[in-house]
Amino acid sequence: MRDWWIRTLLVLRRPRPVFAALRDDSRESAADRAEPVLAIVLLAGMAWALSTSTAAHLMDDDDYDAIIVAIWVFFVGGIYGFFAYFALGGVLHRAVRALGSRGTYRRSRHVLAFASVPLAVSLVAWPVKLAAFAGDAFRTGGSDAGAGGAAFVAIEVVFLAWAVALLVIGVRTVHGWTWARAGAAVVVAACACVAILAAVFLAAGRL
C-alpha cells in the first residue's frame, strides 16, 4: 500500500511506470491502491466543486459562513468525485472497449483516478486565493472578478489540461496502444460525456 501512496505523487513526474503498474488488476493489487484512489477521488471532486459557478456565489446567501462553505465543499466534492469515478469511468471503459481493450471496468476507473491527481493538487492554489480575496471568492462581483480571479481560472484550466494529458498517457501505457489510438479513446469518451450532459440539461429544461 505504501508503494501506491508514493506512486500517487510520482504520477505527476513519471506517469508511465505508475500506469504500467495498473496492468496488474488482481484483487490484491486493487485492494492495495484502494485508499490512494479514494483520496484522489475525494480531493479531485472537491476541486471540481470549487470550480463551479455555484461555489462562486455561495456567500451571496447570508446563511453561509466559512464553516458552512467548507462543509458544502466536502460533501458536494464527494458527490462530484464519486460520480466522476463511477459514471465517467464507465464512459471511459466503454470507449476503450470499443477500440479493442479487454481490460476491466475497475482498471478503467483506476486509470481515470490516477490521471486526476493534477485536479487534486490544484487545491493548493486555494489557500493563496483565499488569502488574496477572502470571502469574495464565494461572492458575486467580489474582488476576484478582475484580472486576479482570471489568473486563478487560468491555473484551473492548466491543471485540467494536465489531467487530460495524463489520461491519454495512462490509456496508452496500460493498453500498449499508439498515441493516436489512446487519444481517440479519450476523445470518444469526452464526446460521450458531453452528449450525456447535454441530454441531461435538455431533459431538465423540459421539466
The mean pLDDT value for 181-193 works out to 95
Looking up cell 493534477, which residue turns up?
A: 118
Residue 144: per-residue pLDDT: 63
- pLDDT tens, residue by residue, 20-77: 999 999 999 999 999 999 999 999 999 999 988 888 888 888 888 889 999 999 999 9
C-alpha cell at 82: 464519486
The Cα–Cα gap between 170 and 164 comes to: 10
Please write down the HEC assignment for all residues of 76-95. Answer: HHHHHHHHHHHHHHHHHHHH
Asked which of 56-60, 161-165, 173-177, 178-182 is least confident by mean pLDDT, the reply is: 56-60
CA quadruple 204, 80, 180, 104: dihedral sign: negative
Residue 39: per-residue pLDDT: 97
Residue 207: per-residue pLDDT: 43
Contact between 64 and 58 (Cβ < 8 Å): yes
Q: Which amino acid is it at 110?
A: H
- pLDDT tens, residue by residue, 110-168: 999 999 999 999 999 888 888 888 877 788 876 666 666 788 889 999 999 999 999 99
CA atoms within 13 A on the CB side of 116: 27
Whether residue 11 is predicted with pLDDT greater than 80 in this model: the reply is yes
- 47 closest CA partner among 99, 116, 113, 140: 116
pLDDT tier for residue 176 given thresholds of 50, 70 and 90: very high
Residue 143: per-residue pLDDT: 63
The Cα–Cα gap between 22 and 107 comes to: 7
Q: How many CB atoms lie within 10 A of CB 17?
A: 11
Better-predicted residue by pLDDT, 102 or 134:
102
Whether residue 88 is predicted with pLDDT greater than 50 in this model: the reply is yes
End-to-end Cα separation, the chain, in angstroms: 47
